[in-house]
Amino acid sequence: MTTAETTFPLSFTHHPSSAARAEAEREIILADPGFGKHFTDHMVQIDWDIETGWHDARVTPYGPLMLDPAASVLHYAQEIFEGLKAYRHADGSIYTFRPEKNAERLQRSARRLALPELGVDDFVESIKQLIAADGQWVPDAPETSLYLRPFMIANESFLGVRSAQKVGYYVIASPAGAYFTGGVKPVSIWLSTEYSRAGKGGTGAAKCGGNYASSLLPQAEAYENGCAQVLFLDSEEGKYVDELGGMNVFFVYKDGTLVTPALTGSILEGITRDSIIQLAKDRGHTVEERRFSLEEWKRDSEAGEIVEVFACGTAAVVTPIAQLKTPDFTIGDAEAPAGELTMAIRQELTDIQYGRLPDRHGWLTRLDA
Ligand SMILES: *Cc1c(COP(=O)(O)O)cnc(C)c1O
């Protein structure tokens, strides 16, 4: 699509909330934030239209959006999003992890969903601006964070089917408790045999709400079968492992080799996935990105060749997978403990994110200075 010229970088105006929570109220929320339930006092908003491009970047009080009932996002799901975290370091400073990767991925998602691209610097600046207003909402208890949710929607009031000429980009933030309270616990996952997440040429590589909408029914099936997450196979042959509803997967072999499904176009390119590939290579492990079949998983697991399986993504970081359940068979043992390498990588990654280990790959960006 053609996009109008926009002046870079965008400059932000601030409109402080008159209803900002007092410190005592905030502290009560931060003591037990859960995930995705509470939101900070402000949000970022940047408008786009086909004539002027991106404009009116602002930090406003957090609150409901005014959307026309004909807003195209409500009808044709032209929506994309991102997820990243702000981490409080021991000295009180606030950092985020590889935000330019989220910015680039949002641009790729935008291209696929025929939405306008926001500049990488503007994306990073939008997060800094929200932290400037709401930095006190970054909790400091171990393994807690402020989850940042940038998203973009088509908000033109028009029911014709074409890409919207009016778009909004927003960032909201939600304090997040430690994902696993009482220690990291391996999960069982459910194989969806009936549904797929993404087809060839579809939107699997874009981080868009539509992919999630189609994963909710199979996810509910996973819950019914006592599983925490759903695993999808490729939609063409139904043979190869793609990923979970919202996390990528890794297999660890006895000889130390890691295997993760190659990015075929139907898999979301996780930033956690990419970082783990790097950390595993740094440790001297071979990492294979390739097609990996369910059959191989079953065979190599039963032969004792696969010794650990884990899922990864920003929200839960690394989750050990104890067992795969399918309608016909199971792989692994639900009571199996978390794998050693799984836990070591989880520790190393979070140590880097929280500033407990040197940032040797230049992955951190300071947000509060
Ligand atoms: C966001 C997401 C992931 C994980 O990506 P991270 O950048 O590691 O958080 C994996 N799969 C899907 C479908 C996702 O939406």
Confidence of residue 251 (pLDDT cuts 50, 70, 90): very high
Cα–Cα distance, 96 to 86 (Å, whole number): 5
Identify the CA nearest to 11 among candidates 146, 126, 120.
126
| Ligand 1, CB within 6 Å, residue ranges | 83, 207, 243, 246-248, 268, 270-273, 313-314
- Three-state DSSP class for residue 152: strand
Taking the centre of ligand 1 as the mean of its atom positions, its distance from the CA of residue 79, in whole angstroms, is 16
Length of the chain: 369
DSSP 275-324: HHHHHHHHTT--EEEE--BHHHHHHHHHTT-EEEEEEEETTTEEEEEEEE
Helix axes 120-134, 99-112, angle to 10 degrees: 120
Burial of 131 (0-12, 13-18, 19+ CB in 10 A): buried
Pinpoint the alpha helices (H) of 71-119.
73-76, 99-112
Given this model, what pLDDT does residue 7 score?
Answer: 56
Taking the centre of ligand 1 as the mean of its atom positions, its distance from the CA of residue 24, in whole angstroms, is 34
Domains of the chain: residue spans and CATH: 13-176 (3.30.470.10), 187-350 (3.20.10.10)
Cα–Cα distance, 362 to 369 (Å, whole number): 17
Digit-coded pLDDT (tens) for 60-92: 999 999 999 999 999 999 999 999 999 999 999
Confidence of residue 9 (pLDDT cuts 50, 70, 90): confident
Of 268, 269, 276, the one to substitute when testing ligand 1's pocket (max ligand atoms within 8 A of C-beta) is 268
pTM of the model: 0.96
Taking the centre of ligand 1 as the mean of its atom positions, its distance from the CA of residue 12, in whole angstroms, is 29
Cα–Cα distance, 128 to 96 (Å, whole number): 10
Ligand 1, atom 14, residue with closest C-alpha = 246
